[in-house]
A and B are shown apart, each in its own frame.
Chain A
Amino acid sequence: MQRDLLIRGMQDILGPEGVISEREQLRSYECDGLMNYRVIPELVVLPETAEQVQSVVKLCYDEGIPFVARGSGTGLSGGALPVESGVLIVLSRLRRILEVDIPNQRVVVEPGVINIWVSQEVAEEGYYYAPDPASQIVSSIGGNLAENSGGVHCLKYGFTTNHVMGAEIVLPDGTMVNVGGGKAADAPGYELLGAFVGSEGTLGIATKITLRIVRKPEAVRTLLAAFKDTEEAGGAVSGIIGGGIVPAAIEMMDSLCIEAVETAVHPGFPRAGAILIVELDGPAAEVEYQFQHTIKVCEENDASEVRIAEDDEERALFWKGRKAAFAAMGRIANDYYVQDSVVPRTELGAVLKRISELGAEYGMRVANVFHAGDGNLHPLVLYDNDVEGEAEKAEALAGDIVFTCLEHGGSLTGEHGIGEDKKKYMPKMFTTEDLDTMQLLRCAFDPHQICNPGKIFPTPRLCGERPGPFRMHPVQQAGLAENF
């Protein structure tokens, strides 16, 4: 299809203000939160309703034009990276909260709704939306769903996938389907919703999402403990969880990270080799008992200091320091490259040691801030883009860190997704059969592979007949037996 015809077609659906085609304006959409990859799309469209999304997708399908969905563009794996000669469908104008249903503990939203708005909407009723990515004041529910985003409180309450109960999806051929029970549990049939969450925009576009909201806990207690090094802090983590406690959150920061955060937002953290922020919530009597146990475990693991948040203000200060960690890296380095691998909790000590050895071998600094409770590391490899070769070196080091995590039984990514960034590593974690099997799902949803093509999988598979020994049985061929 010619460009001007495509523009006209889109304008017919969206009006002139819903279509961006000027190169300069298109530039603002060339990357997501991972700026290493940039592609300028053919067109950007800004639908305002689910029906418009459907019409846009239908047009793309009819013309065989690839498209990519984008929420707020904060993704860290290049998931919303446009495809050349494709259409970028930006969902940020679908931003209505459609329904608040307190009796059933559900909120129904459009995909462009920002994560924090949901909690704000139901706060007065004593509820909140549990998944809390550090980007929650900017990232969209649609993007959260596509990435199966996590947050510091997901250790106890589960990830996005445990809180999305239903979705209306525009499939890549433009048909609209509802998956998941929404307000009722256990919709009969395949768990298509569970498969869709975390599919990184490759199976269709969510246009309406039903979320579960959670009752605010009766009590919340938060402490900050300082340790000589990450190994001692890791010992405390094991001790707390081994004691049968499921904390709301356990976060760890190493000394380099503490330094950066101090410079940036001055939370007044102790100077230490490592700190832990531990939060417990739930019924008051239980929290109190477990909190005392947690303090004891920290002390037994030689914590040099245990600070207890006396009020909401102090708690907010602890979290401010933690949530500012990525942004604060700018204070101690020009550039950084973040990884998101996961290791089994019992392997944390060994892996952190190896990371610091790798840093020394490469002669580069690595800051660590991570979700210690579920072993989700965020090693930040610091470098300077202006120094020739450093960016490549940083990426190579980050790659070695990823491989280390896989060797210890972990995963490539805990919450940021594979996207464009990590697809080259997929064969290290999965066999060809694994990846081909995953792509069977892709083929069912998107046989023409026009929906966010080129992401997640290093080698796309053809969606025609399955390769292998498919032969019609002679009996069947002769028409003697039915193919049931």
Chain B
Amino acid sequence: MATRTKNVSVEDLQNIVGEGHAREAGAGDAVDGVPPSFVVEPGSTEEIAGLMKLANDRDLAVAPRGGGTTMSLGNPPRALDLILGTTRMNAVVEHVPGDQVVRVQSGIRFGDLQERLAGSDQMLGVDPPEAGEGATVGGIVAANSSGPRRYRYGTVRDLIIGITVVLADGTVAKAGGKVVKNVAGYDLSKLFTGSLGTLGVIAECNFRLHPRPETARTVAVELPDTASAGAASQAILHAQIVPSAVELVWDGETRLLTILIEGIPSGVEAQAEAASHILGGFGEVRELADDEAMPSGPPGAGDDAVAVKISAPPAELTGVLDSTLGASSRLGVTPRITGHAGTGVTYVGLSGGEEEARAGVVEELREIWLRRGGSVVVRQASPAFKERVEAWGPIGTRLDLTRRVKDKFDPRGILNPGRFVGGI
């Protein structure tokens, strides 16, 4: 790592955000073991712009931070001077229920927003597990976090309709708008979704909303083997029912495929019957109560030393399970698997065994699923593990273009240097 001269003082930062909102960083502010110098919390888009101008002029490495729930996603930073915390930017700027859209500042906690929208019987159709831990909306957008209901509502990219960002040099720019249907100009909202704070700081986002379902039921089938996981999930996918989620849990003795049905009572009733009927062909079916309906924590929680995300074609569910279970047992590692079976996204937590063995499992899975058109991303691991296994894996032909995009938006490379794909 390069030795850096710190050419900024806490007063410089306080001049922009006010006295109470800039401080020396503490031990808890480190990102993957790399300690920042300061934590600064702007209260407005203009203040973010002021901070970025300063950072750009003085060559300070900046890591934007929302709720801080997903800071270990990606590679360890190559440099880090400032943590730019967004949680003071927590206003709902505009919500017109009749238009089913909302405009928020990026630092609002997702849970607070959802609660507020519930008052109008509406919701933002994303449900990432980090939401329960205080994740902010901006953080969810930047990390492209998703949850079970992506099967029905899509992911952030499908629901975001407008964005305001502050670029590395302090330029404030917006794209999209507050209408759902809109093709004026490039769709920068999507470009910033999942960009992990490497292209700019997200200041505001606009979303399309959905009506809150009146009621819900969850039916699940006990899976006798991995083959029936794939077959049952295919049977649901090709049926005419419209579930909100099709989820898999494969954790010790718990082996379930669960189907979440939401909507109006009569519709939910009929569809839950239909789903039970289909699932009955694969194993014992039971109805789950609300609190056991969705898998508890995602892999990465508890004893898991490493958590990875496997993206694969959804019809390959059995293959994903077999490859994970096979590599784990051969290398003496214990896997915990949950996943969005309907969309081909699987999370694997690994515990037990030597670090080398865990790395071996991840590398083997990455080799297999890259070859079959998917990807394996390390979601959570120690910095030492990430020295062995790069977080994102190769991105093929688009690496060069990806670098060019980064260079245009952040020519001096001050935003989250090193954390993203290809060492960006």
Q: Contact between B61 and A440 (Cβ–Cβ < 8 Å)? A: no
Which residues of chain B from 33 to 74 have a CB within 8 Å of any chain A CB? 53, 57-59, 61
A301 part of interface (Cβ distance < 8 Å): no
Complex interface: chain A residues within 8 A of B58 (CB): 473
Q: Contact between B98 and A192 (Cβ–Cβ < 8 Å)? A: no
Q: Contact between A482 and B2 (Cβ–Cβ < 8 Å)? A: yes
**A190-B402, A215-B240, A444-B405 given as contacts; is B413 within 8 A of A417 (CB)?**
no
Interface flags for A450-484 (1: CB within 8 Å of B; 0: not) read 00000010000000011011110101100011111
Q: Contact between B174 and A434 (Cβ–Cβ < 8 Å)? A: yes
- Choose from A283, A342, A473 the contact partner of B181 (Cβ within 8 Å): A342
A38 part of interface (Cβ distance < 8 Å): no
Complex interface: chain B residues within 8 A of A126 (CB): 238, 240
Complex interface: chain B residues within 8 A of A106 (CB): 313
Complex interface: chain B residues within 8 A of A436 (CB): 171, 173
Interface flags for A425-460 (1: CB within 8 Å of B; 0: not) read 010011101111110111111000000000010000
Q: Contact between A342 and B182 (Cβ–Cβ < 8 Å)? A: yes
- Choose from A105, A185, A217 the contact partner of B237 (Cβ within 8 Å): A105
Question: Which B-chain residue is minimally distant from A371 (CB atoms)?
Answer: B181
**A342-B182, A441-B408 given as contacts; is B402 within 8 A of A285 (CB)?**
no
Q: Contact between B211 and A286 (Cβ–Cβ < 8 Å)? A: no
* Assembled-state Cα–Cα distance A245/B213 (Å): 10
Q: Contact between A409 and B179 (Cβ–Cβ < 8 Å)? A: yes
Q: Which of B53, B144, B344, B392 has the most chain A CB atoms closer than 10 A to its own CB?
A: B344
B113 part of interface (Cβ distance < 8 Å): no
* Assembled-state Cα–Cα distance A176/B401 (Å): 10
* Assembled-state Cα–Cα distance A217/B185 (Å): 33
A49 part of interface (Cβ distance < 8 Å): no
* Assembled-state Cα–Cα distance A344/B221 (Å): 43
- Choose from B4, B175, B182, B238 the contact partner of A215 (Cβ within 8 Å): B238
Q: Contact between B395 and A188 (Cβ–Cβ < 8 Å)? A: yes
Question: Which B-chain residue is minimally distant from A442 (CB atoms)?
Answer: B186
For residue A347, give the distance in angstroms from its CB to the closest CB of chain B.
8
Complex interface: chain A residues within 8 A of B420 (CB): 189
B226 part of interface (Cβ distance < 8 Å): no
Q: Contact between A344 and B178 (Cβ–Cβ < 8 Å)? A: yes
Q: Contact between B195 and A283 (Cβ–Cβ < 8 Å)? A: no
For residue B344, give the distance in angstroms from its CB to the closest CB of chain A.
6
Complex interface: chain A residues within 8 A of B422 (CB): 189
Q: Contact between A286 and B401 (Cβ–Cβ < 8 Å)? A: no
Complex interface: chain B residues within 8 A of A104 (CB): 313-315, 344
* Assembled-state Cα–Cα distance A103/B422 (Å): 32
**A191-B194, A346-B96 given as contacts; is B409 within 8 A of A375 (CB)?**
no
B14 part of interface (Cβ distance < 8 Å): no
Q: Which of A177, A188, A192, A417 has the most chain B CB atoms closer than 10 A to its own CB?
A: A188
**A103-B234, A183-B313, A285-B266 given as contacts; is B183 within 8 A of A147 (CB)?**
yes
* Assembled-state Cα–Cα distance A283/B183 (Å): 31
Q: Contact between A345 and B158 (Cβ–Cβ < 8 Å)? A: no
Q: Contact between B184 and A188 (Cβ–Cβ < 8 Å)? A: no
Complex interface: chain B residues within 8 A of A184 (CB): 311-313, 344, 369, 373-375
* Assembled-state Cα–Cα distance A283/B174 (Å): 39
A205 part of interface (Cβ distance < 8 Å): no
Interface flags for A244-262 (1: CB within 8 Å of B; 0: not) read 1110000000000000000
A115 part of interface (Cβ distance < 8 Å): no
* Assembled-state Cα–Cα distance A465/B412 (Å): 11
For residue B157, give the distance in angstroms from its CB to the closest CB of chain A.
5
A137 part of interface (Cβ distance < 8 Å): no
For residue B105, give the distance in angstroms from its CB to the closest CB of chain A.
18
A154 part of interface (Cβ distance < 8 Å): yes
B398 part of interface (Cβ distance < 8 Å): yes
B167 part of interface (Cβ distance < 8 Å): yes
Interface flags for A32-69 (1: CB within 8 Å of B; 0: not) read 00000000000000000000000000000000000000
For residue B138, give the distance in angstroms from its CB to the closest CB of chain A.
16
For residue B391, give the distance in angstroms from its CB to the closest CB of chain A.
9
Which residues of chain B from 329 to 345 have a CB within 8 Å of any chain A CB? 343-345
Q: Contact between B158 and A188 (Cβ–Cβ < 8 Å)? A: no
Question: Which B-chain residue is minimally distant from A412 (CB atoms)?
Answer: B184
Q: Contact between B181 and A430 (Cβ–Cβ < 8 Å)? A: no
Complex interface: chain B residues within 8 A of A412 (CB): 184
A158 part of interface (Cβ distance < 8 Å): yes
Q: Of the listed stretches A12-20, A84-92, A195-203, A355-363, name the one at the interface; the rest are far from the partner chain.
A: A195-203
Which residues of chain B from 1 to 27 have a CB within 8 Å of any chain A CB? 2-5, 7
* Assembled-state Cα–Cα distance A484/B4 (Å): 10
Interface flags for B376-397 (1: CB within 8 Å of A; 0: not) read 0100000000000000110111
* Assembled-state Cα–Cα distance A184/B310 (Å): 9
Q: Contact between B187 and A178 (Cβ–Cβ < 8 Å)? A: no
A284 part of interface (Cβ distance < 8 Å): yes
Q: Which of A187, A345, A429 has the most chain B CB atoms closer than 10 A to its own CB?
A: A187
Q: Contact between A438 and B188 (Cβ–Cβ < 8 Å)? A: yes
A263 part of interface (Cβ distance < 8 Å): no
Interface flags for B58-102 (1: CB within 8 Å of A; 0: not) read 110100000000000000001100000000000000001111110
For residue A1, give the distance in angstroms from its CB to the closest CB of chain B.
26
Q: Contact between B179 and A148 (Cβ–Cβ < 8 Å)? A: no
Q: Contact between A290 and B186 (Cβ–Cβ < 8 Å)? A: no
Complex interface: chain A residues within 8 A of B186 (CB): 195, 198-199, 438, 441-442, 456
**A192-B402, A346-B99 given as contacts; is B177 within 8 A of A411 (CB)?**
yes
Q: Contact between B211 and A434 (Cβ–Cβ < 8 Å)? A: no
Complex interface: chain B residues within 8 A of A284 (CB): 270
* Assembled-state Cα–Cα distance A215/B7 (Å): 59
- Choose from B59, B267, B402 the contact partner of A475 (Cβ within 8 Å): B59
- Using a CB–CB cutoff of 8 Å, the interface residues on chain B facing chain A are 2-5, 7, 53, 57-59, 61, 78-79, 96-101, 121, 144, 146, 154-155, 157-158, 165, 167, 169, 171-175, 177-188, 190-191, 193-195, 199, 210-212, 214, 234, 237-242, 263-264, 266-267, 269-271, 274, 309, 311-315, 343-345, 369, 373-375, 377, 392-393, 395-398, 400-402, 404-405, 407-409, 411-413, 417-418, 420-422
Q: What are 17 A-B residue pairs whose CB atoms fall within 8 Å in the complex?
A: A181-B311, A187-B311, A189-B395, A189-B398, A197-B187, A238-B98, A282-B242, A285-B270, A286-B266, A411-B184, A414-B182, A416-B183, A429-B185, A435-B185, A441-B188, A484-B79, A484-B417
Using A189-B420, A244-B212, A374-B180 as known contacts, list a sample of 12 further A-B pairs with CB atoms less than 8 Å apart, ordered by residue number in A.
Answer: A154-B181, A178-B396, A184-B374, A187-B311, A194-B157, A283-B270, A283-B274, A346-B99, A374-B181, A431-B173, A438-B186, A475-B59
List the 4 closest pairs (A to B, CB-CB), nearest first: A194-B190, A286-B267, A103-B315, A437-B173
